[in-house]
């Protein structure tokens, strides 16, 4: 009985069991990334003020948040498909954002 259920689950392909760890990790990194992004954008650093003003003319006041959300949803979608690489790449993206945050705090 158990072997039959496992075989049935294995044969379901994309709709079968999904390992939750990459999905949970990407979700938690996404929360951290949004908090970090908000802290960076509210820091009133002169470089960010100039860059933010130029980008807001193209994307609007919430455009960068929407872009962050699109990146997060794409990473979650790939993690849902079972891609561990998506979690690793999003982790690298978060590490780059942490590095830029630390650099701005050091020079600001």
The tens digit of pLDDT for each residue in 81-106 reads: 888 888 899 999 999 999 988 888 88
User: CA 13 to CA 4: how far, in whole Å?
Assistant: 15
Who wins on pLDDT, 58 or 4?
58
Across the range 42-70, mean pLDDT stands at: 78
Whether pLDDT at 33 is above 90:
yes
Domain membership flag for residue 88: yes
- Report the domain count for the chain: 1
User: How far lies 103's CA from each of 12, 28, 37, 86, in Å?
Assistant: 47, 23, 14, 26
**Would you state the pLDDT for residue 58?**
78
Range of the domain at 57: 18-107
Domain membership flag for residue 5: no
Domain membership flag for residue 1: no
Domain membership flag for residue 50: yes
Torsion sign over Cα 71, 77, 80, 83? negative
Domain membership flag for residue 38: yes
Domain membership flag for residue 11: no
**Would you state the pLDDT for residue 49?**
72
**Would you state the pLDDT for residue 17?**
62
Torsion sign over Cα 72, 73, 75, 80? positive
Domain membership flag for residue 83: yes
Identify whether the C-beta of residue 65 lies closer than 8 Å to the C-beta of residue 5: no
**Would you state the pLDDT for residue 69?**
93
**Would you state the pLDDT for residue 14?**
52
Domain membership flag for residue 4: no
């Amino acid at each position: 009985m158990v072997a039959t259920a496992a075989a049935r689950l294995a044969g379901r392909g994309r709709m079968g069991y999904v390992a939750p760890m990459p999905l949970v990790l990407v979700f938690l990194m996404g929360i951290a990334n949004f908090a970090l992004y908000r802290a960076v954008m509210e820091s009133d650093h002169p470089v960010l003020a100039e860059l933010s003003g130029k980008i807001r003319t193209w994307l609007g006041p919430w455009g960068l948040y929407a872009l962050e959300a699109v990146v997060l949803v794409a990473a979650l979608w790939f993690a849902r498909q079972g891609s561990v690489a998506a979690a690793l790449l999003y982790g690298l993206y978060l590490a780059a954002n942490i590095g830029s945050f630390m650099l701005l705090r050091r020079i600001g």
